[in-house]
């Protein structure tokens, strides 16, 4: 098959989950419901944090940013997938695929950075409570978020520019429901060595370093709590960290599942199902984890909904 540089009019074929026509309405309803729940849940978190003065703290500032990133993350892939299912088509334009790759890397990277920053925030709050407001001042919080955006912007851009120089066969099929970066590299006809090196470096930056930061923060937190004799203090500390630990476990657990499924098995169906957990289930569950396990967020949501009910 002849390899050629794709133009903006060229297309990839996203194979998706199933060709069974009877299954398409079920998939459409399922993924549409998950998407709406994710967007609504994360929007409620953002509104609750912004409208309640009790939540104007660094921890909830980072949480609202995480909710915003989760909305953007799921909106990068699901709307196009829903359109394809509804229209019974499988294609995505070349530029549309590169756009998906760019924003997927950006928002997935922001998730990892924000989770690491939130772990650092808990470390300062528990291990250095007297200096917390001085260290985690609004200027530093804003700087941490802006620095994360800046770093991930350039890494994503470099990766996409390198991917743009690759050649693909006409009518290339991607065994996935979105343009997952590793899957796109697998179907390229030209040499992808440089792309893979950049992808591994990005994985180290966006995965290994944030995880190391999270592990260090919680090792210090546990060490500090071991020296605390107050049972009430330990319970309060663990309760504030519980939601974050659940989100971290869910995010990295599903991410590891995607990696292992693609490395161990060559089944596109298994890889796609693992990616659903990573790209859709995790952003959907985050608001529930924070609202159900965090009394402050739960109270803010109740006040927000009560104000909405009282409006004529």
CB-based contact 221:239 (threshold 8 Å): no
Please say if the pLDDT value at position 1 is more than 50: no
Our CA dihedral for 226, 231, 236, 238, rounded to 10 degrees, sits at 40
- pLDDT at position 118, please? 94
CB-based contact 34:284 (threshold 8 Å): yes
Residue range 124-157, pLDDT digits in tens: 988 888 899 999 999 999 999 999 999 999 989 9
Largest CA distance in the chain: 71
What pLDDT band is residue 3 in, cutting at 50, 70 and 90? very low
In 3D space, the residue among 258, 300, 304, 260 whose CA is nearest the CA of residue 282 turns out to be 258
At what angle are helices 282-293 and 24-51 packed, to 10 degrees?
40
What pLDDT band is residue 4 in, cutting at 50, 70 and 90? very low
Residue range 62-98, pLDDT digits in tens: 999 999 999 999 999 999 999 988 888 888 888 889 9
CATH topology of domain 12-290: Rhopdopsin 7-helix transmembrane proteins (1.20.1070)
CA angle 198, 176, 203 (to 5 degrees): 25
């Amino acid at each position: 098959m002849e390899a050629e540089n794709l133009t903006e009019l060229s297309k990839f074929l996203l194979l998706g989950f199933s060709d069974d026509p009877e299954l398409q309405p079920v998939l459409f309803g399922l993924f549409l419901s998950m998407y709406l729940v994710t967007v609504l849940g994360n929007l409620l978190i953002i509104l609750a944090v912004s409208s309640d003065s009790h939540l104007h703290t660094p921890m909830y500032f980072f949480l609202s940013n995480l909710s915003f990133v989760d909305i953007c993350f799921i909106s990068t892939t699901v709307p196009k997938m829903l359109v394809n299912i509804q229209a019974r088509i499988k294609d995505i334009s070349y530029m549309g695929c590169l756009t998906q790759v760019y924003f997927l890397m950006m928002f997935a990277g922001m998730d990892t950075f924000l989770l690491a920053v939130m772990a650092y925030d808990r470390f300062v709050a528990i291990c250095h409570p007297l200096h917390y407001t001085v260290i985690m001042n609004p200027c530093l919080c804003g700087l941490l978020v802006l620095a994360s955006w800046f770093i991930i912007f350039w890494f994503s851009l470099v990766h996409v520019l390198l991917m743009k120089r690759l050649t693909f066969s006409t009518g290339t099929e991607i065994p996935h429901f979105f343009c997952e970066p590793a899957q796109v590299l697998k179907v390229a006809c030209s040499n992808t060595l440089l792309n893979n090196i950049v992808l591994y470096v990005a994985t180290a930056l966006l995965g290994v370093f944030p995880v190391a930061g999270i592990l260090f923060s919680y090792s210090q937190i546990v060490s500090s709590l071991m020296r605390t004799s107050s049972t009430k203090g330990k319970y309060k500390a663990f309760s504030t960290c519980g939601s974050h630990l659940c989100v971290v476990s869910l995010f990295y657990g599903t991410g590891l599942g995607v990696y292992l499924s693609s490395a161990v098995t060559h089944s596109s169906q298994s890889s796609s199902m693992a990616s659903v957990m990573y790209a859709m289930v995790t952003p959907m569950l985050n608001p529930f984890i924070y609202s159900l396990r965090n009394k402050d967020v739960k109270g803010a949501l109740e006040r927000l909904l009560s104000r909405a009910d009282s409006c004529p």
